[in-house]
Structure 1
Amino acid sequence: MASNDSRRVSDLDTLKAFGHPLRMRLYRALYIARRATASQLAEQVDEQVSLVSYHLRKLADHGLIEAAEGQGTDGRERWWQPASKGLNFHDEDFSDAPEKVATHAAVGRLSFDQHIELYRRFLDAHQAWQPEWRSASFASEYLARLTAEELAGLGREMHELIDRYEAAGRAREEAGDTEGRENVALHLYGFPFRT
């Protein structure tokens, strides 16, 4: 990845470019793979290579992904990689116009729908996983009474904790410790509600 920092997406055009169901799936698949070709990603998302190539170019046009230098041996197929460690979307960047508000909400709902589908697939295949993975997986709900400042602090601490685990896991994997490693999804939401 070109940048070790997360990218804050703050413009409507980039938000719209990312807010396509296939592009979200491609970004997620590429983020996990770190580097991949359109053919490899097409196989993962079960789509035509030409369609995947088109959507990868759209993601690249907005700086969300980039060409991965030094990959491949024959030069016939382009390799891609995420352009940053991850993406962040903040409400305050999209709250000054109705179209921005609506697009931000739509992208959030689409992302949430994809999270739900990913978790449903896990639940449907739960028994196919080894006992240690079934035991290690978790789903929790916590209900707390916090201020906005406390919620923001909790979010920062959780992100820092996950970043440490992810960095350590990637470092071990790059050092050759690949035995027993799987892709793991962590979906965190912290939001106010009233009963």
Structure 2
Amino acid sequence: MAKISDPKAMRALAHPLRIQLLELVVARGRATATELAEALGDSVANCSFHLRKLAEFGYLERADDATGREKPWRATDPLQDLAPSPQDPDAQLASSAVRSAVREWDFARMQAAEGRADPPAWEGATFQQGATLFITADEARSIGDTLAALLAPFHERLTDPAKRPAGVGAVRLFAATTYLPEYQDLLDRDLRDRNVER
């Protein structure tokens, strides 16, 4: 997994079309600007520009065994971990911009799926869940680590089509935890009440 800490590299990814292009290149293994433009309903010139930007910041590279007039692109790493330094405000802002762009893209996909008829085998297979939990910071980290471990066996299917079993479908998973400061006074009150009872 590529660790991205450079604010400029993060900002380069904070664009909806670039996120889509990177995902498609990873999923296909390699793809030309023409193929990607056709898949996304965009112009070849626009896709080419954004592909070059992704390459400039290390997300993509030209496939070295490419032949023909238009050389395909491939991802340098199928997974990216935005890891800004807590001491770098610029990196924190850039990371926030990328996360915001990805959230908007994810929510748009989820919204587009509402009311759509999926293939029969997929009826009832996808889910949306949300919960407000009262947990410790260590428990929150544990949930993230457990989810990452649960998903790890499926990562190789992203880049190796031979690992994809019959009946496989493409599914986007979005998961997040968000600290809720608006509940803090309730938790403080509960703690005070418990101390008074003792």
Distance across 1 between alignment mates of 2:51 and 2:158: 27
- Whether the 8 Å contact between 1:26 and 1:56 is mirrored in structure 2 is yes
- Alignment match, 1:106: 97
Calculate the TM-score normalised by the size of structure 1.
Answer: 0.83
Contact kept, 8 Å, 2:29 with 2:75, in 1: the verdict is yes
Which position in structure 2 is the counterpart of 1:93?
85
Q: Write out per-residue CA displacement over residues 16-71 of structure 1, whole angstroms, 9 at most, x where no aligned residue.
A: 11112211111122122221111111112211111111111110111111112324
Partner of 1:25: 20
Pair 170,96 (structure 1): closer, same or farther in 2 beyond 3 Å: closer
Give the aligned partner of residue 172 of structure 2. 185
Alignment counterpart, residue 156 of structure 1, candidates 126, 145, 154: 145
Q: Are the structure 2 counterparts of residues 134 and 37 from structure 1 closer, same or farther at C-alpha, using a change threshold of 3 Å? A: same
CA distance change for structure 1 residues 30 and 88 in 2, over 3 Å: closer, same or farther? same
- Identity of matched residues, %: 25
**5+ unaligned residues in a row in structure 2: which ranges?**
184-198
Question: Structure 1 residues 153, 115: closer, same or farther in 2, change over 3 A?
Answer: same
- Tell which structure's C-alpha radius of gyration is larger: 2
Q: Which runs of 5+ in 1 are unaligned?
A: 1-5
SS, match of residue 182 in structure 1: coil
1:12–1:94 CA contact under 8 A, matched in 2: no
SS of residue matched to 1:181: coil
1:82 maps to 2:70: no
Aligned to 1:37: 32
**Cα offset for 1:14?**
0.3
Partner-residue secondary structure (3-state), 1:140: coil
**CA–CA distance in structure 2, aligned partners of residues 139 and 176 of structure 1:** 24
Q: Counterpart in 1 of 2:106?
A: 115
The amino acid that maps onto 1:174 is: A
The size of the alignment, in residue pairs, is: 182
**Deviation per CA, 1:142-173, whole angstroms, max 9, x where unpaired?**
332222222112211211111113436866x4
Partner residue of 1:3? none
CA contact (8 A) 2:26 2:159 kept: no
Q: Distance in 2 between matches of 1:17 and 1:141?
A: 31
Q: RMSD value over aligned CA atoms?
A: 2.1
Alignment of 1:140 with 2:129, yes or no, is yes
